[in-house]
Amino acid sequence: MRSDDESGFLVRTIAAEDGLKLYVRDYIGDAQATQARPPIICLPGLTRNSRDFHQLAMLLAYHSATPYRVLTLDARGRGQSERDADKSHYNLVVETQDVVSLCSTFDIPQAVFIGTSRGGLVMHLLAASRPDLLKAAILNDIGPAIEKPGLVEIRDYLNRDRKPAGRDDAVNILRENHGAAFTALTDGDWQDMAGAIYDFRDGKPVADYDPAIAQQLLALDFEVPLADLWPQFEAFNDTPLMVIRGENTKLLSTRTIEDMARRHPGMVIKSVAGQGHAPLLHLGDIPAVIRSFLSAL
């Protein structure tokens, strides 16, 4: 495992079960102080990466009273993790095993997991296969049932052939794709989003994931019902659970939220005004709500 110093975190490079190199950011904070609490592991969305969680991780790891160690993962084929030569490995089962490998490498017997979108789906499989690893779970705009309009929208904007020429163009494209859903974002927030999504090489923004991941969505047949993960969701029954939902999301319906709450009566629900899929977790009162949920553990 390789470590390099970065601003606020250590860069770790670990090996997946099949040998693929995975990139992890390790926000240790005050190591002695964080030992009293379980670490937090953050899992990003379909084509996103560890940078999505940077601001939240800094808030949690460097809190003056109750700091947490936070690890954020670039899933295989995303961010600075290696691209997989076998594109069929971009699936939930393999990515779940990668998380198990992460826990094994860092000798983590149990953690709080925060999963955005695809990361939350991985958490469903983790709950079903390794419930012992889950101290608590926070699902960001995802549940066991996905709405077709939201998935179609993701498919369409990921597979458009418009490539930004520079940072300002990248921000403009993000506003065009997501502005109607993210009315609460400031100019600075849009800049931050561009910095999280794109890798800037010589000033030029480049999509920071293997294109094969987005292309998988083109093969989906939306004329047939989407598979759900309700059986796996039942595995959260003994785990403290929180779900965050963007007010303007098209991926997670209020009906699904109600079904989740009925099956998991203790589930904490946070609705985020002025955001869509998926909410930026460092904005507004979301960090305070997350800290309140964690303190109850």
Amino acid at 206: V
Q: Is 37 exposed, middle or buried (0-12, 13-18, 19+ CB in 10 A)?
A: middle
pLDDT score at 202: 82
CB distance 67 to 61 below 8 Å:
yes
Residue 280 CA to residue 290 CA, distance in Å, equals 13
pLDDT score at 231: 98
Three-class DSSP category at 165:
coil
DSSP 8-state symbol, 234: G
pLDDT score at 203: 80
CA distances from 100 to 15, 95, 133, 295 (A): 11, 9, 8, 25
Three-class DSSP category at 240:
coil
pLDDT score at 235: 98
Residue 280 CA to residue 53 CA, distance in Å, equals 8
CB distance 141 to 245 below 8 Å:
yes
pTM for the whole structure: 0.96
Residue with tokens 């927030």: 189
Looking at the chain, how many residues does it have? 297
pLDDT score at 260: 98
pLDDT score at 222: 84
pLDDT score at 219: 87
Residues of the chain with pLDDT under 70: 1-6, 161
Residue 2 CA to residue 140 CA, distance in Å, equals 30
CA distances from 45 to 36, 57, 97, 118, 203 (A): 29, 16, 16, 4, 24
